[in-house]
Amino acid sequence: MKKKLAMLGIFLLPSALFAESDVPSYNLPQVIEFALKNEPRLTGLGKDVKATEYAIDAAKGERWPKVDLGAGITRYRYPTAISPIAGSPQNSSFPDFDKDIYDAGVSLKIPLYRGGRLEKNIDIAKITKMVTEGTFRQGKQELVYNLTSTYCKILELEAILKAREQMVKQLEEHRRVTDQFVKAGRSARVDLMKTDVELAHTRQQALEAQNALAATYALLRTLMGADETYPQFTIAGEPLFLKVHSQEAEGVKVALQQRPEYRKASAQAELQQAKLDLTKGKRLPSLDLAGDFTEKAGDSFSFKDNWNIGLRLSYPLFDGGITRAEINKGSIELERSHGELRAVRLLIVQEVKEAFLAVTDAEKRVSVSKEAISFAEENLRVEQLKYETGDGTTKDVIDAQTALLRSITDWHQASYDLLTAQAALEKALGSNVPGEVASR
């Protein structure tokens, strides 16, 4: 495979469509780097990952003591004791009474046991972050693949446009020769008309390629996150050689280890299990250490303090079957997540196999089309000599030129299809495409 890639040697010039001296030119790693920083959907996924980090902090905070400062004023219908009776019966003093009671104080609550729910909430937050990171990596790899395939499409269209422009020049030269033959009486005027028709058709094909190139550049800008205020640019026509794994079995193994979709589906199954465990924990008791320090006063604002501390135990006895229903629901969702994991695995295996087949097919097409170009060039040379010596016809020359253009187009399509297929294989394997591209 590497020998075939070395023989490929695709070198292209930037398109003349945007060819200006002050227009910047980007290669593929630069395009990818720009897109990873500016594509809005990917940026949003990155924000989601950052948000899950704060969710983990919030879940951890549930284990810490809660201290609250409170204050208030309450008006009663009848005078109410400001403070409870304190001391021994012999030395106790009768408390003050007032209708307006002012209070201020601090309350403390420390969770001692919640049936494992506090730790499970932390686990859920961490697994949720793994799922979100999987979504981010998946979006990143899809973006890189779309950028790579669009980049290759631009190079393909530039090469096709160049070939069609060369075909126009050849037809213009053939028309010049045909016009001389018509004037000399060696060819009929209908030969000149046929040449004019084919020349107009080829010029139209060149315009179509130019328009397609402009549309593909617009798509690339969208994928990069470059809005209308960003200046025009071209891409650098460099050879692209992507790493390809030699064995399909090895590729499947690598894909199951690296594909973000599979890792995300696995994390989602783990998440459903954690949620089920959390729901089961609702059947267990809760134990808290709670205390208050309060000062109260009446309209005289003679505050008297009081405090308390104790243990609070809560045990769920009956909730109308809510917990049991939630456990049954969680069990079904857990089974579904395992089914989704298996479906993702089957899809990944299929995509890897199809990607290897696409690479093999493109390699064969490159070899065949390259050989066809040699035959088409020789055929055109022979037909031009026959025409110049009077043994050939205009139709034969035009057919030979059309066959050559078709062969060149097929070769360019096959060449860039090979690069795109290799990029698709990298995506199917879940490789770290941005790092690999940047290191080439």
pLDDT in tens, 131-165: 999 999 999 999 999 998 999 899 889 988 988 89
- Range of weakest confidence among 51-60, 295-304, 309-318, 427-436: 427-436
Q: Looking at the domain assignment, is residue 84 inside a domain?
A: no
Range of the domain at 212: 2-64+115-283+321-439
- In percent, how much of the chain has pLDDT > 90? 49
Banded pLDDT at 15 (limits 50, 70, 90): very low
Q: Looking at the domain assignment, is residue 298 inside a domain?
A: no
Q: How far apart are CA 138 and CA 24, in angstroms?
A: 30
Q: How far apart are CA 352 and CA 350, in angstroms?
A: 5
Whether residue 316 is predicted with pLDDT greater than 80 in this model: the reply is yes
Question: Residue 437: its pLDDT value, please?
Answer: 41
Helix (H), strand (E), coil (C) string for 35-73:
HHHHCHHHHHHHHHHHHHHHHHHHHHHCCCCEEEEEEEE
Q: How far apart are CA 290 and CA 281, in angstroms?
A: 22
Conformational region of residue 286, where left means phi above 0, alpha means psi within -120 to 50, and beta covers everything else: beta
The string of pLDDT tens digits covering residues 343-396 is 999 999 999 999 999 988 988 998 898 889 889 889 988 988 888 887 888 888
Q: Looking at the domain assignment, is residue 86 inside a domain?
A: no
Q: Provide the number of structural domains found in the chain.
A: 1
According to DSSP, the residues that pair with 68 across neighbouring strands are: 107
Q: Looking at the domain assignment, is residue 105 inside a domain?
A: no
CATH of the domain at 371: 1.20.1600.10
Q: Looking at the domain assignment, is residue 230 inside a domain?
A: yes
Q: Looking at the domain assignment, is residue 53 inside a domain?
A: yes
Question: Residue 439: its pLDDT value, please?
Answer: 33
Q: How far apart are CA 362 and CA 367, in angstroms?
A: 9
Q: What is the mean pLDDT of residues 111-138?
A: 94
Q: How far apart are CA 425 and CA 431, in angstroms?
A: 9
Q: Looking at the domain assignment, is residue 249 inside a domain?
A: yes
**pTM attached to this predicted model:** 0.79
Whether residue 10 is predicted with pLDDT greater than 80 in this model: the reply is no
Whether residue 84 is predicted with pLDDT greater than 90 in this model: the reply is no
More confidently predicted of 428 and 184:
428
Residue 150 near residue 318 (C-beta atoms within 8 A):
no
The string of pLDDT tens digits covering residues 224-282 is 999 888 888 888 866 455 555 557 788 888 899 889 999 999 999 999 999 999 999 99
Q: Looking at the domain assignment, is residue 128 inside a domain?
A: yes
Question: Residue 1: its pLDDT value, please?
Answer: 38
